[in-house]
Amino acid sequence: MTKKKKFEIEDTEFQFQYQKSNSNLIIDFNRISFIFFIFFLISLIFSIHLIHLGSRNSSPVEDIKKVTISKKLFRADIIDRNRKYVVKTVNSINIGINPSQVIDKKKLIINLRFIFPEKNFTEIKKKLDRGKFFWLEKKISDEKYEKLMRLGDKSIIPSESLIRLYPHRNLFSHIIGQIDDNNNGISGLEKSLDEKLKKTKDPVVLSIDADIQYLVREELKKFNQIFQVLGSAAILMDVNNGEIISLVSLPDFDPNQRKKITDKTFINRATKGVYEFGSVFKTLTLAAAFDDKIIEPETQFEDLPKNLTCAGFPIREYDNKIPSTLTAEQILIRSGNIGSVKIGQMVGEEKLKLFLSKVDVLKKIDFDIEEIGKPIEFNWGKCPLATASFGHGITTTLLQLAKAYSIIANGGYNVQPKLIKETKKIKKKKILDQKVSEKILPILRKIVTTKEGTASLANVPGYEIGGKTGTAQKSISGIYTKKKINSFISVFPISKPKFVLAVMLDEPKLNENYVYHYRDGSNTKYKGTPYNTSGWTTVEVTGQIIEKIGPILATKYSEK
């Protein structure tokens, strides 16, 4: 009995303890469930908030780098022959605001005022009230962009954009041209190379030298002021391969501004402007006679009259002091009109026309940019032959004159002017007799070195400059005026021609205060421009340009 009783007691104790333990387990479980529920609820709320943020249009700070320029906006860079940037493409972001998505206008304005304290918020408020989308900031800085994105306001809308930077501003404007707001080229190389610039990854390399381009432009700018010109232009070209090292036309423009230019004053005078250039054509007339082996430099012309009449119009010498008897060489040195007519008549209409076609001055030529002038159709005949012989009535572009003089200077090989650096060697085609260069070059040198010549102001020591001057009355609406086009086409060094430098001034004027310094070693000075002719204007400009660029050319472009 006792044992059984004990067993029951132990059993009872066991049952009691078991019940107590079970009760504690239920209480602990309820607490854990409650805590788990709280965490679950917080996680659910947080997840919903994240989903909400993810659905907003504005990009979070972490996604800033995701706004990139699409392929359709890409354009290749452009560099000069020395790998200096002429044009650079940079990614950009513009910021717009959609008023219909603004939740708290006052709060938005306060935030924007903090980021853009310089803006006119009276105007911004008006734009918000109108309810139409507007641009708040274009080409925004990285710092301000990050601050805007941190606001998390879906009314603030970032948009990808392209910045086409022209670091040299006006320096290459007529060469490079412009693009429009849709990333399409509208002028210059931007237009002619539009497809290539959108597709190629490698930069386009120009034949232009930025350092020389700068120096040439600075001299033209200076003399534009001195002679109060309407405009001017200069082309420096390698006579052997046609590579253009500098091409400047003034006035120019800043392509960074993307302004539509309609004023004809801004025409590219180097390539687009078509002019009568006057006596620079006399070189071509004499070269045609040499090419056809009609005369020699020593061929003498006797009893030349002081004037001729053609179709009722007089042809006179510009200088009555020119002798009546001259050799062919002296006719060019003294820039004789009557003598040039006689040479032209000996060549004849068909052969002179053929020669001018060979050197490419009569028709529009192909070039790397589309801004190319078309010479006015020339109606040949007895009188037109006479006037064309000394450069009257016949038109062309400065670029075409640079090409023609290059062919005459380089031994008679055809060259194609180019702005893009040549990557492969092109076989040259000979189109003139070698003797033409051998006969013409010494004469061009004497035009600069002798007292009878018209270009002594260009005789810069050390560069062996030769060339021909041209002074022409400007024709406006078919009527010749007192306004002039003054030009000088120079070749140097004459002993082994490497460069042609063609310079023109559009409507230069006399300057009574300008001081000329002769380069003959006498230290002679002359104050005031006595005549509005090329010998006193473009020749002086050319001399000053070569003085500045000569050392660079001698260092960079000397024959190895």
pLDDT tens for 525-545 read: 999 999 999 999 999 999 999
Would you state the pLDDT for residue 63? 41
Task: Please say if the pLDDT value at position 486 is more than 90.
Answer: yes
Would you state the pLDDT for residue 258? 79
- The answer to whether residues 219 and 93 belong to one domain is no
Domain membership of residue 322 (yes or no) is: yes
Sign of the Cα torsion 92, 185, 220, 500 reads positive
- The answer to whether residues 243 and 190 belong to one domain is no
d(CA 439, CA 82): 36
Would you state the pLDDT for residue 62? 38
Structural domain that includes position 169: 77-205
Would you state the pLDDT for residue 197? 94
pLDDT tens for 93-141 read: 889 999 999 989 999 999 999 999 999 999 999 999 999 999 999 888 8
- The answer to whether residues 459 and 321 belong to one domain is yes
d(CA 298, CA 331): 10
Would you state the pLDDT for residue 41? 66
pLDDT band at 311 (very low <50, low <70, confident <90, very high): confident
- The answer to whether residues 238 and 336 belong to one domain is yes
- The answer to whether residues 228 and 178 belong to one domain is no
Q: Please count the helices (runs of H) and the strands (runs of E) in the chain.
A: 16, 16
pTM higher than 0.85 for the full model? no
Task: Please say if the pLDDT value at position 547 is more than 50.
Answer: yes
**If you average pLDDT over residues 308-315, what whole number do you get?**
87
- The answer to whether residues 245 and 196 belong to one domain is no
Task: Please say if the pLDDT value at position 284 is more than 90.
Answer: yes
Comparing 312 with 127, the larger pLDDT belongs to 127
- The answer to whether residues 139 and 224 belong to one domain is no
Comparing 362 with 39, the larger pLDDT belongs to 362
Regarding beta strands 78-79 and 204-205, do their DSSP bridges make them parallel or antiparallel, or are they unpaired? parallel
For residue 100, the domain's CATH number is 3.90.1310.10
Q: Are 469 and 391 in contact (CB under 8 A)?
A: no
Q: Which helix (H) or strand (E) holds 284?
A: helix 281-291
- The answer to whether residues 416 and 492 belong to one domain is yes
pLDDT tens for 176-234 read: 999 987 889 999 999 999 999 999 889 999 999 999 999 999 999 999 999 999 999 99
Please report, for residues 97, 127, 159, 172, 458, the alpha-carbon distance to residue 130 in angstroms, rounded to integers and kept in the order given: 12, 5, 21, 42, 66
Q: Is 309 helix (H, G, I), strand (E, B) or coil?
A: strand
For the chain, the average pLDDT equals 88
d(CA 334, CA 84): 44
Structural domain count of the chain: 2
Would you state the pLDDT for residue 46? 59
Regarding beta strands 313-316 and 479-492, do their DSSP bridges make them parallel or antiparallel, or are they unpaired? unpaired
* DSSP-assigned letters across all residues of 463-525: S--EEEEEEEEEEETTEEEEEEEEEEEEEE-TTS--EEEEEEEES----TT-EEE--SSS--E
d(CA 253, CA 256): 9
Domain membership of residue 546 (yes or no) is: yes
For residue 316, the domain's CATH number is 3.40.710.10
Task: Please state which of the ranges 10-19, 112-121, 160-169 shows the lowest mean pLDDT.
Answer: 10-19
- The answer to whether residues 90 and 219 belong to one domain is no
Terminal Cα-to-Cα distance of the chain (whole angstroms): 132
Would you state the pLDDT for residue 524? 86
Task: Please say if the pLDDT value at position 259 is more than 60.
Answer: yes
d(CA 303, CA 350): 26
pLDDT band at 358 (very low <50, low <70, confident <90, very high): very high
Domain membership of residue 71 (yes or no) is: no
- The answer to whether residues 279 and 142 belong to one domain is no
Domain membership of residue 47 (yes or no) is: no
pLDDT band at 44 (very low <50, low <70, confident <90, very high): low
Would you state the pLDDT for residue 321? 86
